[in-house]
Amino acid sequence: MRSKFNEIKGRPFYIFLLVAWCVGPLFLLLFYSLSDINSGYIDFKNYIALLQDEDFRTVMSNSLIVSTVSTFLSLSLATISAYAITRKSIRFGQTALFLFLAISMFPSIATLSPLYLIFREVGLRDTLISLIIPYTVFSLPIAIWMLSGYFKQIPKELELSAKLDGCSGFTIFWKILFPLLKSGLATTAILVFVTNWNEFIYAVAFTTTNFSRTLPIYISKFPTATDNVIGQLTATSIIGAIPLILIILFFQKRIVAGLTSGAVKE
Amino acid sequence: MNFLKKISLTPDEKRAALLIAPAVILIFFVAIIPIINIFYLSLFRKVLIFDITKFIGFDNYRHLLVDQRFWNSFFNNVNYSFFSVAIELVLGLTIALILNQSFKARWLIRTAILIPWILPTVIASKFWNIILDPQYGLANKILLNLHIIDKNINWLGDPFWAMKCAIMVDVWKYTPFLSLLLLGGLQLIPKELYEAAILDGTNKLQSFKNITLPLLMPTMLVALLFRTMDSFSAFSVVYVLTNGGPADSTELMSLYSYKTLFQSLQFGYGAAISVIIFLCVLLISIFYLYSFSYKTKDVD
């Protein structure tokens, strides 16, 4: 009865439209990257050219290094902090969490120029470190916020009984809390990784050569899409999208849960 | 004495403080100090190429008030934020309502919906750059073949269309994300409410207005808060799609600030624009948080 009540006419059609709208661009990009404008046949030459391109390989490894290192650093620091905030009996824990959340909402442009001036002063401009530092720090607040949520779901009794058995703080964390936290850590790591992989404004301001450029910047530097660079531009985009598509295919449930938990729970 | 007891830390708090310290110190130096520094910087005339640094008080802000290009970017931003967020909300809510029923191929749809969210904005913008190209673009070809237009339109070169295209890219990227958030909110509404409504003889529209909307309000406000704040500091869509052109018609505040900082190298003035963006975002969040606490009280 209920399903009838909420039934919307022509739903399959709308859902088809939605899927086409979301996936269509990706397929068009793939089509452009594989099609040879002159002959009209499928051709992998754009991809082969990319793999032989020294610049592209540097940029791709830059993106991987920067995103992975900053995600790892951020997650490690955030886990310790979230543990302290939620598992120790402290006052102002909730206030601290809200302060962290507020900091995560700073617009990047507001911290861009002071950081640029500092990095310029100490000679870090155009290095991967100049990206790893802001990426790590600006993903900290949201990581702490999310991980605190996951910590709170673990009953405190578990820890207490372990303490009575004479386990040390570190053992309790490593042997009892960490296994239960794994899935929450994975969700947080995915969201942080994706944010850092896609980050644009710091990367465009702090990097000047392919020595330290990340993939989004490299793609943005392609000349306007008019001439014969379309093939290379789209092939680069597709390769840049592959890690992200893999993440969706393997972790979609986690991503949806992670994205919605913050907004819906309050 | 009592006061001292209050601020002195318990052993547990001392341990906790030690554990939080690394994160807090990093955030302090990389986020808090720069924010304070940008207010300070905005009081200077600082031109990097000439190595000029001179304290000028509030002169930068006085100049902002009469800077046509700044006001242009401000109103562009209001325009961009209002329309993109409004369209995203309406479309996102519609999609969420359509998806909020048991159906097949859930996996496929979830995968599809996540794609625009996960793709870098740069790739999305470049994609639309290719499609909207006046001569080779697919958009003109299709519209010409369908006889909707009779000659090529220069989508990104015409001030009338350029902003609409930028808003479209924003809508493409963020609507699915918004519909996911709203779907999460919809699924929290107890089904019994709708069943009771049917017994009471209410129609679809009434139950939407009296059950769905009020109960979805908190989720909607959070989603709106995120999207409005983001769109007020939006940068990469217009940077890649049009670089602010034609004739500054798509120049948003962040882009103007960025150009002032890194192209004319006027760090004082660029900082002043950044401060305004920061204050706008702050005001928006205060506004939403206020209406949020107001609304939740209302529901209770």
What does the pLDDT look like over B201-225, one tens digit per residue? 778 788 888 888 888 888 888 889 8
CB-CB under 8 Å, B257 with A88: no
Question: Which A residues in the span 71-100 are in contact with B, Cβ-Cβ below 8 Å?
Answer: 77-78, 80-81, 83-85, 88-91, 96, 100
CA torsion sign for A144, A147, A149, A152 is negative
What is the band of A119 on the pLDDT scale with cuts at 50, 70, 90? very high
- Assigned domain for A22 exists: no
B71: nearest Cα among B283, B206, B273, B264: B273
Chain B CB within 8 Å of residue A5 CB: yes
* Binary contact (B26, A107; C-beta < 8 A): no
Residue whose pair of structure tokens reads 């386990």 in the numeric block: A167
CB A189 within 8 A of CB A150: no
- Count Cβ–Cβ pairs < 8 Å, chain A vs chain B: 275
Residue B5 has pLDDT above 60, yes or no: no
User: Nearest CB to B111: which of A11, A96, A248?
Assistant: A248
Task: Label residue B248 left, alpha or beta by phi (over 0 means left) and psi (-120 to 50 means alpha).
Answer: left
d(CA A38, CA A118): 50
Q: What angle do CA B216, B219, B222 make, to 5 degrees?
A: 145
Residues 6 or more apart whose Cβ sits within 8 Å of residue A101: A141, A142, A145
- Spell out which residues of chain A touch residue B186, defining contact as CB-CB under 8 Å: none
Compute the distance between CA of residue B28 and CA of residue B13 in angstroms, rounded to an integer.
20
Q: What is the CA radius of gyration of chain A?
A: 23
| DSSP structure class, residue B202 | -
Please indicate whether, in this complex, the C-beta atoms of A241 and B123 are within 8 angstroms of each other: yes
Q: What is the pTM of this model?
A: 0.90
A265 pLDDT more than 60: no
Contact assessment for residue A200 and residue A253, using Cβ atoms and an 8 Å cutoff: no
User: In 3D, which of A155, A161, A163, A115 has the Cα closest to residue A136?
Assistant: A115
State the residue range of the domain holding A62.
53-265
The Cα of B24 is separated from the nearest Cα of chain A by a number of Å equal to 9
Distance (Å, whole) CA B70 – CA B92: 32
Q: B18-45 pLDDT, tens per residue? A: 888 999 999 999 999 999 999 999 998 8
- Residue A220 φ/ψ, nearest 5 degrees: -65, -20
Say whether A110 and B34 touch across the interface (CB within 8 A).
yes
Using CA atoms, how far residue A80 sits from A103, A178, B103, in Å, is: 18, 11, 41
Mutation target for A interface from B91, B107, B127, B232: give the one with most A CBs within 10 A. B127
Please name which of B191, B180, B104 lies closest in space to residue A254, comparing C-alpha atoms: B180
Query: Is residue A124 a contact partner of residue A212, using CB atoms and an 8 Å limit?
Result: no
A30 contacts chain B (CB < 8 A): no
**Digit-coded pLDDT (tens) for B92-124:** 999 998 888 766 777 888 889 899 999 999 999
Q: Enumerate the residues of chain A whose CB falls inside 8 A of the CB of residue B203.
A: none
Residue B54 pairs with which residues in a beta bridge? B45
Mean pLDDT value across residues B216-244:
90
Q: Cβ neighbours of residue A165 under 8 Å, at least 6 residues apart?
A: none
| Residue A151 within a domain | yes
Whichever domain contains A154, its CATH number is 1.10.3720.10
**Closest residue of B to A77, CA-based?**
B23
Q: Look over chain A and give the mean of its residue pLDDT values, rounded to a whole number.
A: 86
Whether A74 maps to a domain, the answer reads: yes
- In DSSP notation, B108-172 reads HHHHHHHHHHHS-HHHHHHHHHHHT-TTT-HHHHHHHHTTS-SS---TTTSHHHHHHHHHHHHHH
In a domain, A7, yes or no: no
In A107-146, the residues whose Cβ lies within 8 Å of chain B are: 107-118, 133-134, 136-138, 140-141, 144
Q: Is A168 a domain residue?
A: yes
Interface contact flag, A248 B95, Cβ < 8 Å = no
Q: How far is A109 from chain B (nearest CA, A)?
A: 6
- In chain A, which residues have their Cβ closer than 8 Å to the Cβ of B33? 114
Whether B258 sits inside 8 A of A260 (CB atoms) is no
Q: B59-299 maps to which CATH number? A: 1.10.3720.10
Q: Which of A203, A232, A223, A202 minimizes the C-alpha distance to A215? A: A203
Minimal Cα distance from B271: which residue of A? A113
- Is the model's pLDDT at A227 over the cut of 90? no
pLDDT category of residue B2 using cuts at 50, 70 and 90: low
A134 vs B101, higher pLDDT: A134
**Span of A251-260, B99-108, B126-135 with lowest mean pLDDT:** B99-108
Contact B122 A220 (CB under 8 A): yes
Please identify among residues 190-229 of chain A the ones whose CB lies closer than 8 Å to any CB of chain B. Answer: 194, 197-198, 200-201, 204-205, 215-217, 219-220, 222, 224-226
What are the φ and ψ backbone dihedral angles of B79, each rounded to 5 degrees? -55, -55
- Phi, psi for B46 (deg, rounded to 5): -130, 110
Q: Distance between CA atoms of A194 and A71, rounded to whole angstroms?
A: 9
Contacts of B218 in chain A (CB under 8 A): 266
- Does the structure show a pLDDT above 70 at A266? no
Contact (Cβ atoms closer than 8 angstroms) between residue A26 and residue A40: no
Domain ranges of chain B: 2-41, 59-299
**Residue A260 buriedness (CB in 10 A; 0-12 / 13-18 / 19+):** buried
Chain B: give the shortest CA distance to residue A150, in Å: 17
Query: How far, in Å, CA of A73 to CA of A76, rounded?
Result: 5
Q: Cβ of A231 under 8 Å from any chain B Cβ?
A: no
CB contact under 8 A, A6 and B100: yes
Task: Name the domain count of chain A.
Answer: 1
Would you call A109 and B258 a contact, using CB atoms and an 8 Å cutoff?
A: yes
**pLDDT confidence of A244, banded at 50, 70, 90?**
very high
Q: Which helix (H) or strand (E) holds B246?
A: none
Length of chain B: 300
* Contact criterion met (CB < 8 Å) for B262 and A23: no
Alpha-carbon separation of residue A73 from A65, A171, A185 (angstroms)? 12, 21, 13
Which residue, A135, A173, A256, is CA-closest to B30? Answer: A135
Instruction: Assess if residue A130 is contained within a domain.
Output: yes
> Per-residue pLDDT averaged across B190-200, rounded?
82
Tell me the C-alpha to C-alpha distance, in Å, between residue A196 and each of A6, A140, A193, B21, B223: 40, 12, 5, 23, 21
Position A45 in a domain? no
